[in-house]
Amino acid sequence: MSQQPSTPDPALSTLVGLAAYTELAAFGLLAARSVDAPDLAARQTLATAAGDALGRQERLLGLAVLPGPAGAASAMAPFDGALADFDARTAPSGWAEGLLKSVVGLGVAQDLCRELATGLADGAAGFAAAVGEPRTDDPATAVLADAASADGVLAARLALWGRRVVGEALGLVPVLLAAHPPLAALADRAREAADDGGASAQAWLVSRLTAEHTRRMDRLGLAA
């Protein structure tokens, strides 16, 4: 049911590729934490969360891409490997750190894509509908918040770990914008549309993402 505009914004397919790739990465991280979850309820919850990431990915790909794995792969190909450094620098110690990595990494990536989408000439509404609102009742967040609230030592460790993960995730933003000019152009237009001061598009983006991350850590009951 994708609606193909007659002259699609070329930045839309680039943004869809990035967003679809990050949802696929989120699927993998959440599925891995389902496989080694400490109990069956958490295993089921995280499997469902991984399935939700695939559902968002399917809706996103429907905005700009031919159906089937080949179309999906060609849209995502420009971003293949883009998360390898992030992944290598955030090797988790244990299940809860791995789950926090997926929640924070996916959260930053989704927020980035949402912000960039506000710079689209058209298709912004379709993109927002496909990716959905930030969920305050995200099931992976609930599983993690439960684990942290039951264990103060773990909560302190996770607070530190969250800073590490968000630092690495935010560090990807300039790399992505430099490597993909359509994304940099979206960032410029998004900052202009927001009309909130003289910062560079990149600095503006990072400050928006940081603020959203603070709210995310609050929902987890962790110090940002």
Give the interface with a copy of itself as residue ranges (CB under 8 A): 24, 27-28, 31-32, 34-35, 39-41, 43-45, 47-48, 50-51, 54-55, 69-70, 72-73, 76-77, 80, 139
Q: Are 16 and 65 in contact (CB under 8 A)?
A: yes
Pairwise CA distance, residues 180 & 91, whole Å? 26
Q: How far is the CB of 189 from a copy of itself (least distance, A)?
A: 29
Instruction: Using alpha carbons, select from 113, 210, 112, 119 the residue that is nearest to residue 162.
Output: 210
Q: Please, which residue, 83 or 184, has the CB nearer to a copy of itself?
A: 83
Q: Please, which residue, 34 or 90, has the CB nearer to a copy of itself?
A: 34
Q: Please, which residue, 54 or 185, has the CB nearer to a copy of itself?
A: 54
- Which tokens hold the place of 186? 């979206």
Pairwise CA distance, residues 71 & 61, whole Å? 9
Q: How far is the CB of 188 from a copy of itself (least distance, A)?
A: 29
Q: How far is the CB of 166 from a copy of itself (least distance, A)?
A: 23
Q: How far is the CB of 110 from a copy of itself (least distance, A)?
A: 17
Q: Please, which residue, 95 or 159, has the CB nearer to a copy of itself?
A: 95
Q: Read off the amino acid at residue 216.
A: R
Q: Read off the amino acid at residue 197.
A: G
Q: How far is the CB of 136 from a copy of itself (least distance, A)?
A: 18
Query: What are the two backbone dihedrals, phi and then psi, of residue 84, each rounded to the nearest 5 degrees?
Result: -65, -45
Q: How many helices (H) and strands (E) does the chain have?
A: 10, 0
Q: How far is the CB of 125 from a copy of itself (least distance, A)?
A: 26
Q: Please, which residue, 51 or 94, has the CB nearer to a copy of itself?
A: 51
Q: Give me the DSSP letters along 117-183.
A: HTT-SS-HHHHHHHH-PPPTT-HHHHHHHHHHHT-HHHHHHHHHHHHHHHHHHHHHHHHHHHH-HHH
Pairwise CA distance, residues 220 & 98, whole Å? 14
Q: Please, which residue, 73 or 223, has the CB nearer to a copy of itself?
A: 73
